[in-house]
Structure 1
């Protein structure tokens, strides 16, 4: 299975909490730039996993404008800074066992 890991774009520092920090204009531009790079790789993304944090969800929105992604993404709390990496790895292994060929992970 191919796993594409995308970090969120640049995010504002001034927010009520870390989970609601929005992307900056530069962060939106960075997200589109990476989406266009990924588009050039000519891969078909079968599944999308995304952090519940606002900046990751906004990154997904920007990427979705450039790529043909599945209609829905799976929001995984484990993709946050305090998440359990072991659970993410186990989930990716389960997707491999299901025959999923490519996953985009945005955190």
Structure 2
């Protein structure tokens, strides 16, 4: 299973709550840049798991323009910024198994994503994720490895 962990795009702060923050024009642009880059490397996504926060939902809307419809997508409360990383990983992997997904895209937040990487790949310090940044975790059986991590500033 390939787990593509993506942080939402850049979001503004003019909102009633953290849940309601919306993507900025820069966030949409960076998400489009990363989506184009990813679409040149991956032809389809089997399963998409997205945070319920508006900026993550909007990020998925942008990404979805670049891929065929996934077999399944789900909004998960376990993918919010302060969610438990171990539970988030267990939930993501359970959904991956349930839907027999080879390519899983997770759109969530910091610090959760960094901690999820550490849960999946023991011995790795939680990496930082730039907005719209994507990390690939290659998981085979009990083994997982960090294959790459890219940001809108490192792709062309």
Q: Structure 2 regions of 5+ residues with no counterpart?
A: 109-156
Partner Cα separation in structure 1 for residue 65 and residue 93 of structure 2 = 28
Deviation at 1:50, TM superposition (A): 0.2
Q: Which has the higher helix share?
A: 1
Distance 2:77 2:95 in 1: 17
Mapping of residues 45-64 of structure 1, within 5 Å: 45-64=45-64
Partner of 2:111: none
Distance in 1 (CA, whole Å) between partners of 2:97 and 2:10 is 34
- For normalisation by structure 1, the TM-score amounts to 0.90
Alignment map for 1:1-107 (pairs within 5 Å): 1-70=1-70, 72-98=72-98, 99-107=100-108
- Structure 1: tracts of 5 or more residues without a match: none
Measured at CA, do residues 12 and 71 of structure 1 come closer, stay the same or move farther in structure 2, by a change above 3 Å?
farther
Structure 1 residue aligned with 2:120: none
Indicate conservation of the 8 Å contact 2:11/2:23, yes or no.
Answer: yes
Q: Cα offset for 1:82?
A: 1.4
Listed one character per residue, the Cα deviations across residues 31-90 of structure 1 (whole Å, up to 9, x for unaligned) are 111111110113421000000000000000011112223165211111111112112211
Moved more, 72-81 or 54-63: 72-81
The alignment covers a number of residue pairs equal to: 107
Determine which structure has the larger strand proportion and give its number: 2
Q: CA RMSD in A?
A: 1.6
* TM-score under structure 2 length normalisation: 0.64
- Structure number with greater CO (CA < 8 Å, separation at least 6) is 1
> What's the secondary structure of 2:14's corresponding residue?
coil
Q: Structure 1 residues 62, 97: closer, same or farther in 2, change over 3 A?
A: closer
